[in-house]
Structure 1
Amino acid sequence: MPGLPFTPVEFDHVTATPYVNGAGRLAYSIKVREMRAPRTGPVASTPAPAKHTSTAGKDVA
């Protein structure tokens, strides 16, 4: 895009995994399954994935 110092992209299926590095500091490993050029025009909303919840240890009526 004109006037920007970088090229815009979109990422899908991004995960960030925290870990303690060799120096004892918190660091993150970031993984992306797909990278592509940004979509143009109106973007259809995508529903969020269902959250999986556990009922272990809970009383369920």
Structure 2
Amino acid sequence: MKHDPVYQAVEILCRKGCRALQADIDLQVLPELRALDTQQQRQVLGEIKSIMAIYKNSCGLGQ
């Protein structure tokens, strides 16, 4: 699983931290996804949005 490009992209994006990642999502600027095809990009965004929904309040984004 660690060699899966979707998994790797999610891992890389999560290392940015929730505020930086949310800002990138809001601006729709995710250069880490350029190497992925459209379906993989959608998968990554879906995973990231699910993760962010859990952590939104704990990093001060839901206020």
TM-score range normalised by the length of the shorter chain: under 0.3
Higher helix share: 2
- Rg bigger for which structure? 1
Scaled by the length of structure 2, what TM-score is found? Answer: 0.22
Name the structure, 1 or 2, with higher relative contact order (CA <8 Å, separation 6+).
2
Scaled by the length of structure 1, what TM-score is found? Answer: 0.23
Higher strand share: 1
